[in-house]
Amino acid sequence: MPDRPADDSVERMEFMLTLRRRGISDQAVLRAMDEVPREHFVEPNFLDTAYADNALPIACGQTISQPYVVAYMSEQLGVRPSHRVLEIGTGSGYQAAVLSRLAREVVSIERYRTLADTARSRLTTLGTKNVEILLGDGLEGAPLRAPFDRIIVTAAAERIPDELVTQLGPDGVMILPLGPHSGTQELVRLTRTGEGLKREALIAVRFVPLLPGRAREL
Ligand code: SAH
């Protein structure tokens, strides 16, 4: 890419190599991962490790997900250019930025005002126009904007949020980390079919908890 400083190109090459080595093969997902500058979404004191394959702390005690998990979830979601996608848990805005390159439109909900505002301004700086960030309780989804072709939950749910299932369109797919708030969860894919919801277990993951209501703190 033309305007990238030369000194981070090795890191970024390794970043892409790691994703391929770990099995990410969807070209559109790989392109999106290559295009979105992750350093733009991490806290200034973690700039050095922006391209390491780790989750990192962000404001409000939350985390920006590990790049592999972002790529894996994006791939398993099967996003097409015509799709409208709902994300629960904007956090840094990184996953939303990746999805914005794969989908027609992304609606992302965050319960912390600070995170929602920061993510919104980051995406504006990057010139991303097809992401709408809403402040609110993601457990309620975005009924006025439903149905969605794809729903991605990026915080750990102890049970399947019923309201989100109702906002999934025909043939819709939802991916969410399901399991206890402490420890690991199972990434689960739900597909709406003619016969009902199909459920598949994917990989083990570790996410911060999906909590009800808007955060009382900023
Ligand atoms: N997708 C993010 C990672 C988010 S971490 C990224 O790419 O950086 C999970 C986020 O979910 C946190 O920011 C947390 O505040 C948010 N969250 C947890 N419960 C929520 C809820 N009920 N509604 C909206 N956001 C929620």
Residue 10 Cα to ligand 1 midpoint, Å, equals 30
**Arithmetic mean of pLDDT over the chain:** 96
Domain ranges of the chain: 8-205
| β-strand pairing of 185-193 with 168-178 | antiparallel
CA distance 46 to 28: 27
What is the pLDDT averaged over residues 5-11?
A: 73
pLDDT > 90 fraction of the chain, expressed in percent and rounded: 94
Helices 67-77 and 27-35, interaxial angle, to 10°?
140
The residue to mutate among 154, 163, 176, 216, having the most atoms of ligand 1 within 8 angstroms of its beta carbon, is: 154
Residue 186: Cβ within 10 Å count: 14
CA distance 108 to 95: 10
Residue 168 Cα to ligand 1 midpoint, Å, equals 19
Please determine, looking at this structure, whether the domain spanning 8-205 carries the CATH number 3.40.50.150. Answer: yes
Of 131, 81, 74, 129, nearest to 104 (Cα)? 81
Helix (H, G, I), strand (E, B) or coil at 208: coil
- pLDDT over 70 at 27, yes or no: yes
Please name the residues in contact with 141: beta carbons below 8 A apart, sequence gap of 6 or more: 86, 88, 109, 151, 161, 163, 164, 166, 167
CA distance 95 to 36: 10
Residue 207 Cα to ligand 1 midpoint, Å, equals 9
- Tens digit of pLDDT for each residue in 60-119? 999 999 999 999 999 999 999 999 999 999 999 999 999 999 999 999 999 999 999 999
How confident is the model at residue 3, as a pLDDT? 53
Reply yes or no: is the peptide bond before residue 57 cis, omega within 30 of 0.
Answer: no
CA distance 45 to 188: 33
- Tens digit of pLDDT for each residue in 184-195? 999 999 999 999
Specify the pTM: 0.96
pLDDT > 70 fraction of the chain, expressed in percent and rounded: 97
Q: Please tell me if the CB atom of residue 89 comes closer than 6 angstroms to any atom of ligand 1.
A: yes
How confident is the model at residue 104, as a pLDDT? 98
- pLDDT over 70 at 137, yes or no: yes
Reported residue count of the chain is 218
